[in-house]
Amino acid sequence: MIKRHRWSITLAVSLVACFLVLQEVAVRRAQALSNDTYQELDTFASVLAIVQKNYVEPVSTKKLIDGAISGMLASLDPHSAYLTPDLYRDLEVETRGSFGGLGIEITIKNGALTVVAPIEDTPAYRAGLKAGDQIIKIDDDFTKDMSLTEAVKRMRGPKGSKIRLTLHRNGVAELFTVTLARDVIKIQSVKSKTLDGGYGYIRVTTFQENTGEGVEKAIDGFESKEHGKLKGIVFDLRDNPGGLLNQAVKVSDDFLDGGLIVYTQGREENQQQKYFSHKKPDFVDYPMVVLVNGGSASASEIVAGALQDQKRAVILGTQTFGKGSVQTILPLDDHSALRLTTARYYTPTGRSIQAVGITPDVDVEPPKETIASLTQQGAEFDENPEIHESDLPHHFQNGQKKDDKNPATGAAAVPGTGKGDKGPGAKGAKAKEEKDVQLDRAIDILKHWNTFKLQLAKGESQSPVSEGDSVKSKGD
């Protein structure tokens, strides 16, 4: 009896201790959350209970919670998102340069699922999809109010499986449908060749694992051909949607001889980072022109901004996308993850390009479609098909005052259903070969490098190509 009594007392004491510990944890959590937060959570719990009780069909708690998390992150900015376990695995595979799908970058503009840019040598690129095309339907399902996460999930699939996209293109009167076969998208992020005149050409399509090594290999190849002396390089970042920050830093370092490349600023101490280039004893400051356009975003803008601020290269093309934010992947216990915007990044001279972009030193626009060139009568002419960060819903500002001076030396301010696979961009359509006026202008600048650099440094607007030719120019 005495032993049993002692055991009861011990159990009671233990239960009291556990209660006190739990109470302390609850108090700490209560202190960490404001009363307003608790009131909103009560509202959320009430809505959850009402939906589960009254919705026309039974719905799981997990589905509702996942939807609530997705909506919460989507309301913050265009780049924060909730990644389900499947999407998180896809993201890990994608950064390694291989994934199953169509090969297009998409966003939501004015409530419509919109193509930012097709990726080279992919089913979408070969089918003729263009930046600005609106995806009205995926197979038989309308995309109105469809989330980016859901759209990406529907477009992914095994190699060889078919998918139909119903598109609207600015300048084309009717909708048209394109049938594509999914493929394993193996992105060759670095491509290079020798241009007429002995100049090197390097194109980076996206910043993924080993992109830096690919750029270094291309530079070494040019140097071996020219016995260690480079005449100049055209570095093409057009329609490059970005990618890994560390690869953007590595690529920038390949072209710089010391100095700041980029720095980030967020709310937490670990989000205050600075990235520098290394000093190189055998560095050669060969002529360099960087090509950019409205599809150049994020990591591309880091590279262009660093080379521009350090006056290492001439930036040529059109205003870039303007994504000046850093996303961090935060894994969760159930193998899902959050992709959360945690910082802004700044160029070496302190520019935030968020919702602004990089202004090129030489503004050269590609040829635009004219009414006469359109394939269907009654078409509407779109003056500006490019999409920028500032066009996206919930985008945030760059945190700098409007009257802040831009340290850059930029010279310019800145898509009834058709049947079958008919219409521009349909599979099998042969795109007309267009003259690359931006690349041609870049080569002209390299040929007259010393004169051009001197004029640009003085702030003059005369180009060395021909008399009366302005630094700001448009393609014919």
Active site residues: 298, 309, 323
Residue 77: strand pairing partners? none
User: Beta partners for 115?
Assistant: 106
- C-alpha to C-alpha distance for 74 and 146, rounded to whole angstroms: 12
φ/ψ of residue 327, rounded to 5? -105, 135
Q: What are the start-end ranges of the H helices in 143-289?
A: 148-155, 211-225, 245-255
Q: Which of 149, 141, 146, 144 is nearest to 70 (CA)?
A: 149
CB proximity list for 139: less than 8 A, separation 6 or greater:
154, 163, 164
> Residue 105 is inside which H or E element, if any?
strand 104-109
Strand 314-317: give its sheet, edge to edge: 190-194, 200-204, 233-236, 288-292, 314-317, 362-365, 473-474
CB 91 within 8 A of CB 331: no
Residue with tokens 């831009």: 406
β-pair type (362-365, 337-346): unpaired
d(CA 49, CA 51): 6
170: left (phi over 0), alpha (psi -120 to 50) or beta: beta
The Cα 464–Cα 118 span in angstroms is 34
Please, are residues 94 and 75 in contact by the beta-carbon 8 Å criterion?
no
Residue (of 104, 110, 114) closest to 169 by Cα position:
114
> Terminal CA-to-CA distance of the chain, rounded, Å?
103
Tokens, residue 262 = 């980029």
3-state secondary structure of 59: coil
Contact 78/395 with Cβ under 8 angstroms? yes
Query: For 323-344, what is the HEC assignment?
Result: CCEEEEEEECCCCCEEEEEEEE
What is the bridge-based pairing of β-strands 288-292 and 314-317? parallel
Q: Please report the DSSP string for 164-198 in residue order.
A: EEEEE-TT-SS-EEEEEE-EEEE---EEEEEPTTS
